[in-house]
Structure 1
Amino acid sequence: MKIKQILISIVASSAIFGGILAVTPTATITNQVSAAVTKAKVQPNAQPKSVMLPANWWGPSESVPYPNVAQHPKMWIHVSLAKQRVYLMDGGKTLYTMYASTGLPKRGWGATPKGTFFIQRERGKSFSEGSGRGRISAYNFVSFKDHGVYLFHSVPVDYRGHVLPFPAGAQGKYPSSHGCIHLSLADSKWFFQNIRYNTMVIIN
């Protein structure tokens, strides 16, 4: 689906699933994400034990630093639709695991496509659709198929900068998107800043 169609449908879903989640506005969210990403700075010589943190919509998914992409030139991405996870891989080794939420075709929404893809050039810090109270936004988008149609991006937020409840609560648990792959705000920011053009993505 096109981004516009995705976001219009998200507005409808927010009404279906109980309205807007009363969470922190965008300005504070940005500070929280920056602090979380700073805390999870790359430590190339450290090899702490990986521990998955409780799933949330704003913080990193693991207790360990994000991997140093420069040290893994053959990094690739595995998206598990069954487990609702995004795995950063180097060969057969998992470097980092991110909670995700993928397409929900059972509601007539778009499925996340299966197959092998490659990260495309289209990416940005945010995008918005609609105006006024109908405006919906998401952050840190990176295209992997059809040049801006299928994206990795953050959980969506409403016109007030409040995260929509259904996508936010679905992280790592069940599908909630219209085909894109939702990540937490912190994970999506790191992904946007670090995942290179033409990185292989396998979705199954």
Structure 2
Amino acid sequence: MRFNGISRFLLSCLISGIMACFFIMVPSFLFGSVSNQDKAIETSAKVVDEISIKKQVINDMQNQTKDNISIFSLDDCFKKTYYISQNGVKMYKKIGDESSLIKCLDRDSEIVAYEEKDGYIYCEDNFSVKGWVKKDNNNLKAMPLGLSNYIIDVDLTKQIINIYGNGNVVRKNIACSTGILNNADTETPVGIFKVKKKLVYPNGLKLNNNDGTKETVMYPVQFFSNYLIHSVPIDETHHNNKVEQEENKVEKSKLGKPASHGCVRVSMDDAKWIYNNTPQNAEVYIHY
């Protein structure tokens, strides 16, 4: 009887131990699985979001194309973006005049056209050189082939910037102010560009606008020719023999609507973030 009692006691201890292990381990296993599943779903959603924004922007541009070599064309838009199809495409000072050759353009270079005449387009390249290029399929193509993992998406209709990088939504709904449509001097060019360089001007970059006005901006990031992403204009004041800089309140209040001379303006904080975090050759998608 004593032996049977001890056996029952040991058996009950064993069963209790097994049950305790079961209740400890199973919840951990279950919750761990759910957590990993959630992470997989979240990661997948981020990747799809980046891919979809690329496709959506490109489709929007293609749907507004009027010919097979202009990436974007709109009746109210003076500036049209093209891409060079091969190395050695010639730019002339005068239409069809070989002796007036200005330079030869490289494959995949962006050019922005301002005028069309006699089968040529008058355009500007990334180095602010302007001249005539023959408009045909041998010289021009509609869409650049490469896609970056980092995208600065500028929506001219909504006047916002969304930034995507490596499958993540990095920043969203940044209020911006772009150029005024239907004005050749102020339009922001539309198309796919790349970040060329971050200009180094610690005390601000002085800009001379086409209308004769001047402004000082901070954190300039060049994406084509003299077109930049930068802060709203700043005011400089002298206080205790020091120069202090602050955002121009009037110009900052215009964020969210077209008001610039062609560049893309954002707040000082957003300009600083873009300047410090945008990698070289990041793609800049500008579209309506």
* TM-score normalized by the length of structure 2: 0.40
1:165 CA drift (Å): 4.0
1:99 to 175, 179, 187: 175
1:128 is aligned to 2:203: no
1:166 CA drift (Å): 3.8
2:259 to 163, 176, 192: 176
CA distance in 2, matches of 1:177, 1:129: 12
- Tell me if structure 1 keeps the 8 A contact 2:195–2:280: yes
- Tell me if structure 2 keeps the 8 A contact 1:75–1:91: yes
1:198 CA drift (Å): 0.6
SS at match of 1:187: helix
CA distance in 2, matches of 1:185, 1:195: 15
Larger-Rg structure:
2
CA distance in 1, matches of 2:154, 2:257: 13
TM-aligned CA distance change 1:122 to 1:193, over 3 Å:
closer
TM-aligned CA distance change 1:199 to 1:158, over 3 Å:
same
CA distance in 1, matches of 2:251, 2:167: 30
1:99-132, CA deviations, whole angstroms, 9 ceiling, x for partnerless residues? 11100135664111100000002422421258xx
1:185-196 pair list within 5 angstroms: 185-196=268-279
1:157 is aligned to 2:234: yes
- Tell me if structure 2 keeps the 8 A contact 1:109–1:177: no
- Tell me if structure 1 keeps the 8 A contact 2:178–2:257: yes
- Tell me if structure 2 keeps the 8 A contact 1:135–1:158: no
CA distance in 1, matches of 2:183, 2:234: 21
1:92 CA drift (Å): 7.3
1:162 CA drift (Å): 4.6
- Tell me if structure 2 keeps the 8 A contact 1:84–1:175: yes
- Tell me if structure 1 keeps the 8 A contact 2:231–2:268: yes
1:157 CA drift (Å): 1.5
SS at match of 1:158: strand
Q: Relative to total residues, which structure has the larger strand share, 1 or 2?
A: 2
CA distance in 2, matches of 1:193, 1:143: 13
CA distance in 1, matches of 2:249, 2:184: 19
Unaligned runs of 5+ in 1: 1-46, 48-72
1:143-154 pair list within 5 angstroms: 143-146=222-225, 149-154=226-231
- The residue that corresponds to 2:251 in the other structure is 167
What's the C-alpha RMSD, in Å, of the aligned pairs? 2.6
SS at match of 2:218: strand
- Tell me if structure 2 keeps the 8 A contact 1:166–1:176: no
CA distance in 2, matches of 1:166, 1:175: 14
CA distance in 2, matches of 1:182, 1:174: 10
1:141 is aligned to 2:224: no
1:135 CA drift (Å): 6.5
CA distance in 2, matches of 1:176, 1:114: 16
- The residue that corresponds to 1:7 in the other structure is none
Give the letter for the 1:88 counterpart: I
Give the letter for the 1:112 counterpart: T
1:95 CA drift (Å): 2.6
* TM-score normalized by the length of structure 1: 0.55
Unaligned runs of 5+ in 2: 1-41, 43-147, 238-244
- Tell me if structure 1 keeps the 8 A contact 2:229–2:271: yes
1:1-204 pair list within 5 angstroms: 74-90=149-165, 94-97=169-172, 98-106=174-182, 109-124=185-200, 125=202, 126-129=204-207, 136-146=215-225, 149-160=226-237, 161-171=245-255, 173-204=256-287
